Amino acid sequence: MAQVLIGREREQHILAQCLSSDMPEFIAIYGRRRVGKTFLVRTFFEGKDGVIFFDVMGAKATPLKAQIRHFTKRLGEVFYRKARLVASKNWDETFEVLTEAIDESDPNQKVVLFFDEFPWMATHNSRLLQTLDYYWNQYWSKNSRIKLIICGSSASWIIDKIVNNKGGLHNRLTQHMFLEPFNLAQTKQFLKKQSIHLNDKQILELFMAMGGVPYYLKKIEKHLSATQLIERLAFKQKSFLLEEFDNLFSSLFNDAAAFVEIIKAIAAVRYGILQDTLLKKMGEALQGKGGIDQLKALQNASFITSFRPHWHKRRGIYYRVIDEYCLFYFYWIEPVKNTLLKNSLLAGYWDKLKAKPNWHSWAGLAFEAICYKHLPQITKALALSPTAIPNTWRYTPQKGDDEQGVQIDLLFDRDDDAITICEIKYTDKPFVITKEYAGKLQKKVDVFKKVTRTTKQLFIALITANGIKRNHYSDQLISGVVTMDDLFVEVEGM
């Protein structure tokens, strides 16, 4: 049965344009492990009429000789009817053989060169990058048939060495794309294609634990609830979500343990941690430029995000974890990791946890992370202009000050002289604004107005999974409500 691409319309459009162009094309594709980069390229190009598709994948921690042997084997399979070729000693000679094979191939066919997990191919002292530089500039960029695709899960490597190359590959890319996990609407579509028919509430609960990573979604079985699925995938002996964590980080980073400690420290602070505070807290693990580079690598891999709270430009950069799986792992799996390596937990373990206060704390944090990834949906639901600027805001009073601190989850600074302040709440039932909560909301708005000295009109919106129960306080304070259904809307251009 032919493989079917779900979503990825923008990416498919880019690939189609590159294939049909009368110019040589050089494309870089990057994104976190398991997100579907290889699947996208192979499904789009394999078996296409008029296309010679040469795909080769780098192997992690594999010597130069073996990398070249693998590359040469694919050369024989694709260009020479599976003939066994003698492997060369270096990349220069190997790329010379590839160039000759392209020149000898049918001139009426386009040639797609797909170098997958390219960072793994670029072993120490291999001079692969320099060789690519030479052959692209000297030969391949002069052949309109060639469409070169460089791909890798090490997003920072691709960005630093290919996208932002300062040498001979500088400004040579014709396209680059960052492949993100599915959003909620795409996740629902993907599951339907697998004949898995869950309602939005069930899908949202799964998304809070796993995110929209296609490979993870393939682990979902039919005819089970989200609670049953999470228990099977996370709390059984040597379960997938238990073992995937170490595999994920070790595949991306050489010093995986250091990166885990960094992201764990960030995850421990709900509303984000200031860069200077994080650097001091981590000590030698995050000192100097190396520490900044590690944070950049985690951000490029979409595990964390950096932000400057609104009107806090001088106070520095904050970081927070936005990867749902990492948050789930740190909250629930890591504390019982040693047990899960030996035994499964008792049946019903996850269902019982959902009655605990810390479950609601995690659910709120995970739901916030999801909301930050669905800002276009929130903007549409609130009927805001696409030019409205989303951000967060916080106020921490000085020591000795009696005034309480204020945290605003999300706000939209609008160009119609107004600001929409959003509260994000996750509850199983419609959220109820009590007299006490209404007072806190009003206090928050008052502090925001006082500290920022804004003269803009302030509105309050509520983002909650299951809507709001209308009462006197909601009618008085709330100008707009965003529900789970709104987050599942596919926004054009996404």
* Mean pLDDT calculated for residue range 288-297: 80
Q: 465 pLDDT band (50/70/90 cuts)? A: very high
Largest CA distance in the chain: 80
| Res 238: pLDDT | 85
User: Which range (146-160, 235-249, 337-351, 405-419) has the least confidence?
Assistant: 337-351
pLDDT per residue as tens digits for the range 14-28: 999 999 999 999 999
Residue 403 lies in a domain: yes
| Number of structural domains the chain divides into | 3
| Res 117: pLDDT | 95
Q: What is the CATH number of the domain that holds 124?
A: 3.40.50.300
Residue that terminates a domain, selected from 329, 347, 370: 370
Residue 56 lies in a domain: yes
| Res 240: pLDDT | 95
Q: SS3 for 333-346, per residue?
A: HHHHHHHHCCCCCC
Q: What is the CATH number of the domain that holds 208?
A: 1.10.10
Residue 284 lies in a domain: yes
Strand ranges, E, within 118-232: 146-152, 175-178
Tokens of 272: 């984000």
Q: Examine the domain organization and report whether 228 and 357 are in the same domain.
A: yes
Residue 262 lies in a domain: yes
Q: Examine the domain organization and report whether 128 and 197 are in the same domain.
A: no
CB neighbour list of residue 472: distance below 8 Å, 6 or more residues apart: none
Residue 4 lies in a domain: no
Q: Examine the domain organization and report whether 156 and 218 are in the same domain.
A: no
Q: Examine the domain organization and report whether 233 and 364 are in the same domain.
A: yes
Residue type, 362: W
pLDDT at residue 13 tops 80: yes
Q: How many percent of the chain have pLDDT more than 70?
A: 96
Q: What is the CATH number of the domain that holds 478?
A: 3.40.1350
Q: Are 291 and 285 in contact (CB under 8 A)?
A: yes
pLDDT at residue 354 tops 90: no
For the chain, give the mean pLDDT: 92
pTM: 0.91
Q: Examine the domain organization and report whether 208 and 131 are in the same domain.
A: no
Q: Examine the domain organization and report whether 165 and 22 are in the same domain.
A: yes
CA angle 369, 295, 390 (to 5 degrees): 40
Helices (H), 218-287: 226-234, 240-252, 256-267, 275-282
pLDDT at residue 467 tops 90: yes
Q: Examine the domain organization and report whether 304 and 355 are in the same domain.
A: yes
Tell me how far apart the alpha carbons of residues 19 and 342 are, in angstroms, rounded to a whole number: 51
Q: Examine the domain organization and report whether 195 and 326 are in the same domain.
A: yes
Residue 132 lies in a domain: yes
Residue that terminates a domain, selected from 345, 370, 395: 370
Domain extent, residue 383, equals 377-487
Residue 132 φ then ψ, to 5°: -60, -45
Q: Examine the domain organization and report whether 345 and 408 are in the same domain.
A: no
Residue that terminates a domain, selected from 178, 211, 245: 178
Residue 494 lies in a domain: no
* Mean pLDDT calculated for residue range 146-156: 94
* Mean pLDDT calculated for residue range 312-322: 82
Q: Examine the domain organization and report whether 236 and 294 are in the same domain.
A: yes
Q: 426 pLDDT band (50/70/90 cuts)? A: very high
Q: Examine the domain organization and report whether 152 and 209 are in the same domain.
A: no
More confident residue, 92 or 254: 92
| Res 1: pLDDT | 42
| Res 289: pLDDT | 58
Tell me how far apart the alpha carbons of residues 327 and 267 are, in angstroms, rounded to a whole number: 7
Q: 339 pLDDT band (50/70/90 cuts)? A: confident
Q: Burial, 344: exposed, middle or buried (Cβ in 10 Å; 0-12, 13-18, 19+)?
A: middle
* Mean pLDDT calculated for residue range 85-112: 97
Tokens of 29: 């594709």
Residue 196 lies in a domain: yes
Q: Examine the domain organization and report whether 161 and 267 are in the same domain.
A: no
